[in-house]
């Protein structure tokens, strides 16, 4: 059986199971189900689902490959994630539940005003649309090589077909559907990684104890880096970056918080946040353990490492020395990570645009609101598809890196808006806030360029904090008497 046929059968089987789960999860759905899941989701289910929600197709491909150059340094950041999740659980979650928010950016309207609220919503829209499109583009590119190109099918059809499938299983149930499809995704991800570890270790002739000792003795398994403060892998850089990245990209991201706010109350949501954060550490560790085994496999078989570390997992999974099931597991994990991430992005973008930008939930209800929501859902699907196709024609490594950098810029002002709102009781001149949200990233770029040009200093995750700090400074300059809550 040819490789394209195997991949297609794997995708068809996964989507068949996905649609079954979606059908049962979305029965009796209404607008509240789509936006908040009726706030009835059991927290253990949400916690398990959040493992998959936090892992994209890019993560699935990249994390195993990064061990060759950076070892297990990523776990230092994941430790920071856990601390960040505690902050989200005990600072942000009670605030969002107390205000009974559909969109978390509604807090900005209550705290500052309409212009600030819209600024946060538009920043989220731009960052999530670009970030989700880039992640899905990378996966579509892999599937194009494995399936569509050998069959003579153009990339555009690849994108249209997969976006249509994602739209189909999210259009009705929204968040409620996502929670249960993410549960399926988490199971598929963990199973695929564990089984790949088993088959690769078996190919290498390693027992369980032999595998553990071999990985522990391998130079790629170093986790903590305290020796060089200037290096990007230095512990405190990674750890602190993890804390603030978790707060910004989870606690202040409608996509992620939409799931957390589906629990019955803030207490349940807090349990979900903490448990999912701890479980995520162990799942990421599995990816890194697999990465070491992949490097050992290439070394023992005299195979040169590819130029791009992202190609290591796919190279070994589809190698002739591996059983076909390893390739199937690779594709299963890849599509479950990629499609679920795209589905959650579409749902959160639909919610944010409908609620935050159009304000439809205040003007409409029932069937009228449902019609608006469905039209927005179609529009978000079309825009994402168009952005992915644009990447296909315009992309190179620099362009993709630029999009990721842009996404980090847009999260900085969001972080600054919430930090100022929570830390300072003073209000701001609401109409001038959009100017601050534009100037902060611009000034950050100028500072970044100056530091590199004059001293050769390369900024990384500090950009997020720099953006947030400049936003807070701008808000302070616009401050006025304390705002009533």
- As given in the structure block, the two tokens for residue 459 are 């900024």
Which is nearest to 46 in space by CA: 226, 196, 261?
261
How is the chain split into domains, by residue range? Answer: 3-395, 412-485
Which one, of 453, 420, 424, lies nearest residue 437 by Cα?
420
Provide the pairing of β-strand 426-428 with 479-482.
antiparallel
Burial readout 278-298 (b: 16 or more C-beta within 10 A, e: otherwise): ebbeebbbbbbbbbbbbbbbb
Euclidean distance between CA atoms 87 and 362, whole angstroms: 31
Contact (CB, 8 A) for 346 and 384: yes
In degrees rounded to 5, what are phi and psi of residue 41?
-70, 130
Interatomic CA distance for residues 103 and 355, integer angstroms: 7
- DSSP letter at 92 equals I
For position 57, what pLDDT does the model report? 61
DSSP state string for 75-124: HHHHHHHHHHHHHIIIIIHHHHHHTT-SSTTHHHHHHT-HHHHHHHHHHH
Task: Measure the CA angle with vertex 221, ends 215 and 224; round to 5°.
Answer: 145
Q: Is 479 helix (H, G, I), strand (E, B) or coil?
A: strand
Residue 289: which region, alpha, beta or left (left: phi > 0; alpha: psi -120 to 50)? alpha
Closest to 337 in 3D by CA, of 73, 149, 63, 78: 63
From the CB of residue 37, how many other CB atoms can be counted at a distance below 10 Å? 25
Closest CA to 224 of 212, 233, 211: 233
Out of 3.30.930.10, 1.10.1740.10, 1.10.510.10, 1.20.1730.10, the CATH code matching 3-395 is: 1.20.1730.10
Q: H/E element holding 262? A: none
485 residues of the chain, pLDDT tens digit each = 566 777 778 777 877 777 777 667 666 555 454 555 456 677 787 777 777 667 766 677 777 878 887 888 888 988 999 999 999 999 888 888 888 776 788 888 888 888 998 888 888 888 888 877 877 777 777 778 777 888 888 888 888 887 887 777 666 545 566 677 777 777 877 888 888 888 888 888 889 888 999 998 888 888 888 887 777 678 888 898 888 888 887 888 777 777 777 777 888 888 888 988 898 899 889 889 988 998 898 888 888 877 777 678 777 887 777 877 887 778 777 777 776 667 777 877 887 788 878 877 677 667 788 788 888 888 888 898 888 888 777 765 444 455 556 667 888 898 899 989 888 888 888 899 999 999 999 998 899 889 888 887 777 667 888 899 999 999 999 887 654 44
- Take residue 258 and report the two structure tokens written for it: 């939409």
Name the burial class of residue 229, with classes exposed (0-12), middle (13-18) and buried (19+) by CB atoms within 10 angstroms of its CB.
exposed
Distance CA 203, CA 299 (A): 13
pLDDT value at residue 440: 92
**Residue 174 — left, alpha, or beta (φ > 0 → left; ψ -120 to 50 → alpha)?**
left
Gap between the Cα atoms of 204 and 61, Å rounded: 21
Q: DSSP string covering 270-339, please?
A: HHHHHHHHHHHHHHHHHHHHHHHHHHHHHHHTTPPPPSSGGGHHHHHHT-TTS-HHHHHHHHHHHHHHHH
**Paired residues of 482 in beta bridges:** 426
Question: Phi and psi for 302 in degrees, rounded to 5?
Answer: 65, 30
Classify each residue of 90-105 as buried b or exposed e, where b means 16 or more C-beta atoms within 10 Å of its C-beta: eebbebbbeeebbbbb
Please, what sign has the CA dihedral across residues 122, 123, 126, 127? negative
- Per-residue pLDDT at 400: 46
Q: What's the pLDDT score for residue 324?
A: 79
Token match 């029965």: residue? 27
3-state helix vs strand vs coil in the chain, percent to 5: 80, 0, 20
Query: What integer pLDDT is reported at residue 398 of this predicted model?
Result: 42
């Amino acid at each position: 059986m040819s490789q394209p046929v195997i991949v297609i059968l794997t995708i068809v089987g996964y989507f068949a199971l996905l649609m079954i789960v979606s059908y049962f999860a979305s029965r009796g759905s209404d607008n509240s189900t789509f936006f908040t899941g009726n706030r009835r989701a059991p927290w253990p289910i949400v916690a398990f689902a959040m493992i998959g929600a936090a892992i994209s197709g890019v993560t699935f491909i990249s994390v195993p490959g990064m061990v060759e150059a950076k070892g297990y340094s990523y776990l230092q950041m994941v430790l920071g994630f856990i601390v960040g999740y505690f902050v989200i659980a005990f600072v942000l979650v009670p605030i969002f539940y107390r205000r009974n928010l559909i969109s978390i950016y509604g807090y900005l309207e209550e705290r500052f005003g309409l212009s600030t609220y819209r600024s946060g919503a538009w920043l989220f829209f731009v960052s999530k649309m670009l970030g989700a499109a880039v992640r899905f583009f990378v996966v579509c590119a892999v599937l194009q090589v494995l399936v569509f190109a050998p069959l003579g099918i153009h990339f555009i059809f690849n994108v249209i077909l997969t976006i249509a499938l994602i739209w189909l299983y999210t259009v009705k149930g929204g968040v409620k559907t996502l929670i249960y499809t993410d549960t399926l995704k988490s199971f598929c991800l963990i199973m695929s990684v564990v089984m790949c570890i088993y088959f690769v270790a078996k190919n290498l002739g390693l027992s369980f104890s032999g595998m553990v000792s071999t990985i522990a003795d391998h130079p790629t398994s170093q986790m903590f880096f305290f020796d060089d403060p200037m290096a990007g892998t230095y512990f405190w850089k990674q750890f602190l970056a993890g804390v603030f990245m978790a707060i910004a990209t989870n606690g202040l991201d409608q996509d992620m918080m939409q799931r957390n706010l589906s629990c019955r109350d803030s207490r349940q949501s807090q349990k979900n946040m903490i448990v999912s954060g701890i479980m995520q550490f162990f799942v990421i560790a599995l990816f890194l353990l697999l990465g070491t085994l992949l490097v050992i496999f290439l070394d023992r078989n005299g195979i040169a490492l590819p130029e791009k570390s992202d190609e290591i997992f796919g190279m070994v999974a589809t190698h002739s020395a591996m059983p076909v099931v390893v390739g199937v597991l690779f594709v299963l994990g890849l599509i479950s990570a990629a499609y679920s991430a795209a589905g959650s992005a579409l749902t959160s973008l639909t919610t944010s645009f409908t609620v935050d930008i159009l304000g439809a939930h205040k003007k409409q209800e029932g069937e009228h609101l449902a019609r608006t929501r469905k039209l927005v859902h179609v529009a978000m699907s079309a825009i994402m598809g168009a952005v992915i196709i644009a990447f296909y024609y315009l992309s190179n490594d620099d362009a993709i890196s630029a999009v990721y950098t842009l996404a980090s810029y847009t999260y900085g002002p969001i972080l600054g808006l919430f930090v100022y709102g929570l830390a300072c009781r003073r209000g701001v001149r609401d109409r001038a806030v959009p100017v601050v949200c534009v100037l902060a990233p611009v000034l950050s770029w100028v500072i970044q360029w100056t530091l590199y040009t004059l001293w050769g200093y390369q900024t990384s995750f500090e950009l997020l904090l720099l953006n947030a700090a400049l936003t807070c400074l701008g808000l302070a300059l616009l401050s006025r008497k304390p705002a009533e809550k």
